[in-house]
Structure 1
Amino acid sequence: QRGVSLMSEPMLESAVRSIISEDLGSRKVLKVADLGCGVGPVPLALVSLVEEYVKRACEQLSWDVDDDDDQMPEIEIYMNDLPSNDFNLLFRDLLRMMEEKREDVEGKSKKVPLCFLMGVPGSYYGRLFPKESLHLVHANCTLHWLSQAPVGLY
């Protein structure tokens, strides 16, 4: 999974940069869904990458994010998996990682985008989100976990 994730990072960064610079709107909240997130290093890496790409996009756009909290976009990440996924473990690991990123080695706060995490249990074969509610949808190697065969494929 890590190999596929590495190959998709340039596309993910390009998409985040494009959304930040063109499509974010006045609320400045980037809304991302991670379909079939699972637990472990893969969803942790996605959250970390999205935070980094948002910060990098702001720097490239010369937004003064160090002096103005309103300039830094916030991030909503919807973690989706089947209800049997251990969302408690996932959120514990994600929150720990986010807290560690906000402090540098000297214990001072670092400027990183605020990130809000939400769980969305259910199969992505059905509708999970309202129309036009997301900017970016990510799925990393979930097809091998198909819970049902696609229509017309046997």
Structure 2
Amino acid sequence: MKLLWIPFSLFLFGCSEQPQLRPDIHQAVSVALEHNAPDFDVAYTDLNSDGLEDAVVMLKGMNWCGSGGCSMLVFQNTGADFTLISKSTVTGRPISVTKTKNNGWNDLIVWSKGKGNVLMIFDGKNYPSNPSLQEGISEEDILKAKTIFK
């Protein structure tokens, strides 16, 4: 009978050793910007194939957006929290995730004013900080990607 109590108690009370699958993105944005979290949109997707959904954040408002676009933040989900991986300025929508990877992370396609859709390749540390300096991408490649922001 005691053996039946163990699975029941784990079900009833939970197991505190399991990582949180989706940490608080609002807290992560506030910490990353050293400022109360501004308005933003977020899309969750596994960018590094670790089984955890990472976060792509598009900041909103006049402090984070200009005529060229808005700031985009990419966070890695560690299971316990989100860690800032990358910050890019002048980023526009749509934003898509490709099937191709570089340095273990999916490439991103973002809109860049004056250039159209450009490819953002992870360099092992982060994505490029300025999309307008990146290469364009074909319509065929765009159609193969998964859109996360329209």
Higher strand content, 1 or 2: 2
Instruction: Give TM-score, length-normalised by structure 2.
Output: 0.29
Give the structure with the larger helix fraction. Answer: 1
- For normalisation by structure 1, the TM-score amounts to 0.28
Q: Which has the higher contact order (CA 8 A, sep 6+)?
A: 1
Please identify the structure whose Cα radius of gyration is greater: 2
